Amino acid sequence: MSFSAVDVIRAKRDGAVLTDAQIDWVIDAYTRGAVADEQMSALAMAIFFNGMTAAETARWTQAMISSGERLALHVDRPTVDKHSTGGVGDKITLPLAPLVAACGAAVPQLSGRGLGHTGGTLDKLESIPGWRAALSTSEILSQLSSVGAVVCAATEGLAPADRKLYALRDVTGTVEAIPLIASSIMSKKIAEGAESLVLDVKVGSGAFMKDLTSARALAEALVAIGVEHGVRISALLTDMSVPLGRAVGNAVEVAESVDVLRGGGPADVVELTVALASEMLSLAGISADPAAVLASGEAYEVWARMIRAQGGDPDAALPVASHKHVVSAPASGVLSTLDAYGVGVAAWRLGAGRARKEDPVQFGAGVLCLAKPGDAVEAGQPLLELYTDTPDAVDGALQALEGAYEVTDAAPERSPLVIDTIRG
């Protein structure tokens, strides 16, 4: 059945519920180029203002999955994946994937690159000498069977409609539409083929969703799509008002992740890694104690095998930036504020992130947070270390940090890292 793009646009503009046939046609036609970018832009804006029902969103997701291939993960372990909506210092995939694999699951983690103030998992891992992100489907399946975990770029055949639509939304002011966010995330994750999925939906200044109401709405939309498609799924709402851990960047986050895998590392990174691992193992039907496995060093051994399998050297020295600038505490007292967004923008301006997908990143650039909220500090004490290969970038980073940290007399009230859990 053929439709008119203008009729579909008008229907959604006027608040109608799109039929399954309309959705299937418009996604297929757009993927083939039969619907123009300006027409899909108009439809995306209509969705932004008028929303979609749960049934529409599920069908939109299915249409994007059907635009490409779907991986068949024939491995002898339960398959489970994790997706984060992105944050500052969010290195959790790096220790989490090998940890869950060490507990007996297979973890096919298809990841992306950073844009703006949020970091990208692939950018972090590419700071490891020799490591490669691009794997074929056969390589992904082979590594899942032999190692139990793979973190790599999505293959070109997975949800090509989403790749095209995501780029369009990025330049038309329609990124924030919850049905389009949810269908974008879930089309890729369902096409990836994992039996179970845990979502880490961030909320706070450094997150895409700044307030709990919108974060919860996104989490519920994601879980509803997963249930509709037969995926065992749950979502954790987690705090992103303060950077995760102490390292924000690429190589510096890899180093911190290795510390966690060796039984150390910052308490918040360990806490969230174990919380997500516990949820993933529960969905996968595996009885294991991820905290004990992490402390034992078994997860580090899986990490080393995973890195070697993708051409990397887990023992190689990581890149170090050529220039360091220290930010000192302005007064004595307690660090009461360390804003995730300000720190993320600073790291981005230092070269750790990119403004456009085509931009390169500096592997050694980033920020080390020498103190976190609640820590006592003395006036003049080093508070942050800024790293970059382009010293001229420091001024822009310092501007981003204006107002991002504060020293007061009283310790701040601590917010829980895991705010809530929504299960399918």
Query: The tokens of 63 are what?
Result: 């249409």
Residues 267-290: what's their mean pLDDT? 98
Q: Which of 52-56, 115-119, 183-187, 386-390 has the lowest mean pLDDT?
A: 115-119
Tell me the C-alpha to C-alpha distance, in Å, between residue 374 and each of 242, 382, 407.
12, 15, 10
Mean pLDDT over all residues of the chain?
95
Alpha-carbon Rg of the chain, whole angstroms?
Answer: 22
CATH architecture of the domain formed by 80-315: 3-Layer(aba) Sandwich (3.40)
State the average pLDDT over residues 326-352.
97
Do 309 and 302 touch, CB atoms closer than 8 A? Answer: no
Look at residue 167 in the predicted model and tell me its pLDDT.
83
pLDDT value at residue 413: 87
Assess whether 169 carries a catalytic annotation: yes
Residue range 187-241, pLDDT digits in tens: 999 999 999 999 999 999 999 999 999 999 999 999 999 999 999 999 999 999 9
Of 24, 123, 162, 268, which one is the catalytic site residue?
Answer: 162
Percent over 90 (pLDDT), the chain: 88
Q: In the predicted model, is pLDDT for residue 170 greater than 90?
A: no
Predicted pLDDT of residue 214:
95
Beta strands 80-84; 196-203: pairing state: parallel
Using the predicted structure, report yes or no on whether residue 154 has a pLDDT greater than 80.
yes
Does the active-site annotation cover 162? Answer: yes
Which of 111, 127, 183, 184 is an active site residue?
184
According to DSSP H, which parts of 262-339 are helical? 267-284, 290-296, 298-309
User: Domain residue spans in the chain?
Assistant: 5-51, 80-315, 323-408
Residues in the chain: 424
Q: With 0-12 CB in 10 A as exposed, 13-18 as middle and 19+ as buried, what is 196? A: buried
Identify the residue whose tokens are 């308490």. Answer: 267
pLDDT at 316: 97
For residue 357, is pLDDT > 90? no
Range in 40-44, 157-161, 234-238, 343-347 the model is least confident about: 157-161
CATH fold match for the domains 5-51 and 323-408: no
Over residues 250-277, the pLDDT tens digits come to: 999 999 999 999 999 999 999 999 999 9
Examine the pLDDT at 354 and tell me if it is beyond 90.
no
Q: In the predicted model, is pLDDT for residue 116 greater than 90?
A: no
Q: Does domain 5-51 have CATH number 1.20.970.10?
A: yes
Catalytic residue among 188, 202, 232, 349: 188
Half-sphere exposure of 350 (CA within 13 A, CB side): 33
pLDDT the model gives residue 350 = 97
Query: Does domain 323-408 correspond to CATH entry 3.40.930.10?
Result: no
pLDDT of residue 1: 64
Q: Which pLDDT does position 157 carry in this prediction?
A: 87
Residue 96's SS3 state is helix
Short-list 283, 292, 288, CA closest to 103 = 288
Q: Please identify which of the residues 12, 83, 202, 232 carries the catalytic annotation.
A: 83
* From 82, 164, 169, 232, the catalytic residue: 169
Portion of the chain with pLDDT greater than 70, in percent: 99
Over residues 390-411, mean pLDDT: 96
Residue 18 has pLDDT above 90, yes or no: yes
Give the range among 8-22, 92-106, 158-172, 304-318 with minimum mean pLDDT.
Answer: 158-172
- pLDDT tens digits for 300-331? 999 999 999 999 999 999 999 999 999 999 99
236 Cβ neighbours under 8 A, 6+ residues apart: 198, 199, 200, 201, 275, 276, 279, 418, 419, 420, 421
Q: Helix/strand/coil (H, E, C) string of 133-186?
A: CCCCHHHHHHHHHHCCEEEEECCCCECHHHHHHHHHHHCCCCCCCHHHHHHHHH
Copy the structure tokens of residue 328: 């000192």
